[in-house]
Amino acid sequence: MEGCLFWFILITFCCYVYCTTQNMWFVFLAIIGISASWIQFTPKKKEPLTKEELEECLKNIKNDDKGVSNMVNEMTKCPYCAEEIIAGAQKCKHCDEWLKNKPQTQAIRYRDDLPAEISGWNWGAFFLTWIWGIGNKSYISLWALIPFLNFIWMLVCGVKGNEWAWKNKQWSSIDEFHRVQRLWAKSAIIIFGSLIGILLILFIISIIEDSYL
């Protein structure tokens, strides 16, 4: 069913692009953009566990059950709220305080919400769009290759870039995320600054040549 829907959308949109532009190159770009979006939003199917993996999971569950049954008999008090909790608990279920070191890396890698520290504009996504998208596993940015949608999608990438990159890649910390995105922004500024400089030089040369004619 999903495959039929994909082909219907692809053929319909390609027909529309060809009828309005009469250019096969634009049709090719449309195919890339739609295919990338489909890959981005289609949920990945998990492969079934092998027999060895199932046996290992069952063994771990049995070991965990033994450990839990032993800890249930041992209770202690939370140092923050003085409520009774299981001995060895990492976090108090009453006051939500961490009793041991908070697992920062795991919490960041698997968190779905967007931290306030990384919200904002992404210059790398704005200037480099689909190039940035491939590097950050945000393939929906390939929509920027579709004709008549380019500049609008550049703005969308700039606004949503941080959110896409955060959710589609695994980051060990917020500092690492900022460091990588700053590198993308610097690269984008250097590339576009060089292009603008080259265009200015060509413009000045053309003016000088016209003055001698």
Instruction: Enumerate the β-bridge partners of residue 98.
Output: 91
Mean pLDDT across 186-208: 88
The per-residue pLDDT for range 57-108, each reduced to its tens digit, is 777 776 655 555 555 557 788 888 888 877 777 778 788 777 766 555 444 4
Grouping H, G, I as helix, E, B as strand and the rest as coil, residue 101 is coil
The yes-or-no verdict on residue 183 having pLDDT over 60 is yes
CA distance 49 to 83: 41
CA distance 213 to 200: 20
CA distance 71 to 69: 6
CA distance 184 to 57: 41
Question: What share of the chain in percent tops pLDDT 90?
Answer: 16
The yes-or-no verdict on residue 112 having pLDDT over 60 is no
pLDDT score recorded for residue 107: 42
Confidence of residue 2 (pLDDT cuts 50, 70, 90): very low
Mean pLDDT across 17-36: 60
pLDDT score recorded for residue 111: 46
Average pLDDT along the chain: 75
**Helix boundaries (H) for 73-114:** 104-110
pLDDT score recorded for residue 105: 46
The domains of the chain are located at 65-102, 104-213
Closest to 127 measured CA to CA, from 54, 171, 188: 188
